[in-house]
Structure 1
Amino acid sequence: MSETASYASKPSLSLGRLYGTGPSPTRSEFQRDRDRIIHSTAFRRLQHKTQVFLAHEGRHFRNRLTHTLEVSQIARSIARALRLDEDLAEALALSHDLGHTPFGHAGERALDRAMTGFGGFDHNVQALRVVTLLENRYAEHDGLNLTWETLEGILKHNGPLVDDKGQPTARYREHGLPTGIDEIQTPADLRLSTYASLEAQAAAIADDIAYNAHDIDDALRAGLVVLDDFRDVPLAGSIVREVLDLYPGIGSKRQTHEVQRRMITRAVEDVIRTSSVNIAAAALTSAEDVRLAGKTLVTFSDDTAAAEKGLKTFLFARVYRHEAVMTPVRESEAVVERLFSRYMETADMPGRWGEAGRAVEGAARARIVADFIAGMTDPYALDEHGRLFDARPEFR
């Protein structure tokens, strides 16, 4: 890897870890973070957590793990082109979904509703709880003992949580900051009002790029749409027309892959071009300048950002709200709500979870229950539902 830019995060300048470790002769601090994430239990569980389509519907649909790997590849490509630290970008991409519940966003919505009155549920905060509290692999401490830069990026890759006056930003303005942040010990203040590193911003936009491309692919595989439906859809339309004109007889699967790879390539190139201009205009000389820049610098161009919103509007109407998707969504939300309710009443959770839950009540028990449910895979949540209610939901 070539030398990184002055504004890149530097592993040698890291603010460190909560618990001291000796230097590694073979890996940088951010490489060690990446490796710790990959070897975590929470990371392995991603293979059995829903992305958009539930796992039982087909083996070729994305799950949280395959999505995460795609995001990681895209994040590294962007980081390399912008001369950022690729290992930190990769670590953040690999960890960005560790706080997600079973059953995708449906499970997250249900758990957030169930936690009303107890501080709500936020998957970024939950990811931070996973890597600092809930993973228990090490002999001397809880959590993965990641560097400050990785913890900051996990929490703030979508931007600051508060403004410079300490008021919650737009996405938290209505309900306030999610609870649980104050329980998390970190090597230094996470500075909720500043922006995260460019590596974190690269991981965040890589998530959007991967979503756009693979949700089209999965929707086509599910038969909810056909490729021709995208001819006039923003962002995808010009590429679809181009591929259908160039390769009319190669078969729909090959056509779809050709559309998907061209979408990813052009989106990545757009981000690199635009972000390079943004970075130059900001006259950055250090990673600290990034945090104080006052805006996100790794972005789409204005035209691509507008087109991406148009694509998401189409996918929302034709895919995410399609009855074939909504039927299992509604049932999976009910599963999460039933589990939460029962655990709150009885604390009937296995092992250490049950012991901890029975020792407390109210908000303290609710947080334990939320941690337990958020860590479940889809199959385990269904098994627990079967154990507690003697019923296994049908998603069709």
Structure 2
Amino acid sequence: MFAPYACLPAESRGRLHGEDLSSFRSAFQRDRDRIIHSSAFRRLKHKTQVFVEHEGDYYRTRLTHSIEVAQVARTISGVLGLNTDLAEAIALAHDLGHTPFGHTGEDALQRLMEPYGGFDHNAQAMRIVTRLERHYAEFDGLNLTWEALEGIAKHNGPVTGDLPYALAEANALWDLELHTFASAEAQVAAIADDIAYSHHDLHDGLRSGLFDENDLMELPITGPAFEAVDKLYPGLETMRRRHEALRRVFGRMVEDVIHVAQIRLEAANPQSANDIRAMEQTVIRFSKPLYQELKAIRSFLFTRMYRAPSVMAERARVTEAVDALFRTFMTDPSRLPDEWRAGLQGSDDEQLARHVADYVAGMTDRFALQEFARIC
């Protein structure tokens, strides 16, 4: 049973390129399946969040992160009567545009692309699903529904002002109403991302040894979680204690979001998905107290993990790799693979830069380092 404000496949605004309906899958199920079967999704297996892909088998990659986000999104959207297939599709697609080496690679490409319109991973995800995936006979991209494209474009909220190049390009093809909020399903995917990375970055930071459980005992949310576990299971071995505490942190975030959403939805009483889009604020959010507590945890992670000396040293190394690859291909496009050189004749500097950025952004961590060693 769907809530009145859920996105329904039968009411979808359709696809840019018309297709016959499937006899056994809804439009949003097809979106999800096309994302899972895309080349860009498979490459997420070897793209990392914080640590470079080869550093350890247990650290999250963009692929495992996306799967975790999708699981959270399905749970929350199911409780709220939303379309779980659409929420899952947006969650699985939200990181498709990420470069190798996480945000470090994105920062490097943004700086390199600044003279040519910039680089943004959300916009790059749109470029992938509308242009760069080239497997279907009748169209470029994945030909996703309007609702899926809207969710990818603005799951973090309305997009105003100067649009990133790739997003402006996609929006010119099909108006995604970027000035409004996205559907409730897209909002769920966005907050599921926050929940997943807040949870797994604590796990990965502990495993890496950048901080320990005693540090987390001093923080809100995590401190009470460890205390509750110690009270219930005194003397529990380290890995079990860690898991029991952090799953309580995870549950606290999910329950908070559901509780807040139920209150806000009851007060607003939206009767359609468009009513959600027209609201002045997101309907899916953390409570103010929990949000403040999460800010303290994120500040801790920023200092102790994202800017730890060992991580910063690796950031410098991989930034050098991205810089060198980009500048090499810009100076000598003949060093691009054959399929990436096709159609470059007559391209101006901006077109070439966008082409090179597409190629470099699509690399996995290991392939980027291999190419850096081979070419540079």
What per-residue deviation string (whole Å, max 9, x for no partner) do you get for residues 317-349 of structure 1?
A: 111111121111111111111111111111121
Shift of 1:184: 2.1
Native 8 Å contact 2:230 2:236 kept in 1: no
CA distance in 1, matches of 2:344, 2:200: 39
Which of 322, 338, 344 aligns to 1:351? It is 338
CA distance in 2, matches of 1:51, 1:193: 30
Q: Which residue of 1 aligns with 2:185?
A: 199
CA distance in 2, matches of 1:110, 1:243: 42
Q: Flag the 1:250–1:19 CA change in 2: closer, same or farther, 3 A.
A: same
Which of 358, 364, 368 aligns to 2:351? It is 364
Q: Flag the 1:372–1:122 CA change in 2: closer, same or farther, 3 A.
A: same
Shift of 1:186: 7.5
Other structure's SS at 1:184 match: helix
Shift of 1:379: 1.1
Other structure's SS at 2:165 match: coil
What are the within-5 Å matches in structure 2 for residues 73-88 of structure 1? 73-88=71-86
Other structure's SS at 1:97 match: coil
Other structure's SS at 1:264 match: helix
What per-residue deviation string (whole Å, max 9, x for no partner) do you get for residues 94-127 of structure 1?
A: 0000000000010000000001111111111100
Q: TM-score, normalised by structure 1?
A: 0.92
Native 8 Å contact 1:357 1:369 kept in 2: no
Other structure's SS at 2:342 match: helix
Matched, 1:381 2:359: no
Which of 265, 268, 271 aligns to 1:282? It is 268
Shift of 1:255: 1.1
Q: Which residue of 2 aligns with 1:270?
A: 256
Matched, 1:119 2:107: no
Q: Flag the 1:35–1:187 CA change in 2: closer, same or farther, 3 A.
A: farther
Native 8 Å contact 1:335 1:382 kept in 2: yes
CA distance in 2, matches of 1:245, 1:343: 59
Native 8 Å contact 1:51 1:64 kept in 2: yes
Matched, 1:328 2:326: no
Task: Give the counterpart letter for 2:74 in structure 1.
Answer: R
Matched, 1:179 2:170: no
Q: Which residue of 2 aligns with 1:300?
A: 286
What per-residue deviation string (whole Å, max 9, x for no partner) do you get for residues 187-238 of structure 1?
A: 7410110000000000000000011110010011111111111112123221
What per-residue deviation string (whole Å, max 9, x for no partner) do you get for residues 137-189 of structure 1?
A: 11111100100000000010000011xxxxx2xxxxxxx32112232267741
Q: Which residue of 2 aligns with 1:142?
A: 140
CA distance in 1, matches of 2:173, 2:245: 44
Task: Give the counterpart letter for 1:272 in structure 2.
Answer: I
Higher alpha-carbon deviation: 205-214 or 353-362: 353-362
Which of 241, 244, 251 aligns to 1:258? It is 244
Native 8 Å contact 1:49 1:104 kept in 2: yes
Task: Give the counterpart letter for 1:16 in structure 2.
Answer: G
Q: Flag the 1:23–1:307 CA change in 2: closer, same or farther, 3 A.
A: same
Native 8 Å contact 1:17 1:186 kept in 2: no
Q: Which residue of 1 aligns with 2:21?
A: 23
Native 8 Å contact 2:153 2:167 kept in 1: no
CA distance in 2, matches of 1:244, 1:118: 55
Other structure's SS at 1:18 match: coil
What are the within-5 Å matches in structure 2 for residues 218-229 of structure 1? 218-229=204-215
Higher alpha-carbon deviation: 54-63 or 234-243: 234-243
CA distance in 1, matches of 2:125, 2:174: 18
Shift of 1:301: 0.5
Q: TM-score, normalised by structure 2?
A: 0.97
Q: Which residue of 2 aligns with 1:337?
A: 323
Higher alpha-carbon deviation: 90-99 or 274-283: 274-283
Q: Which residue of 1 aligns with 2:92?
A: 94
Structure 1, unmatched stretches of 5+, are 163-167, 169-175, 390-396
CA distance in 2, matches of 1:72, 1:136: 24
CA distance in 1, matches of 2:361, 2:344: 15
Percent of pairs with identical residues? 51
Native 8 Å contact 1:112 1:120 kept in 2: yes
Structure 2, unmatched stretches of 5+, are none
CA distance in 2, matches of 1:345, 1:235: 51
Aligned length: 375
Shift of 1:356: 3.6
CA distance in 2, matches of 1:178, 1:26: 37
Native 8 Å contact 1:219 1:319 kept in 2: yes
CA distance in 2, matches of 1:317, 1:338: 28
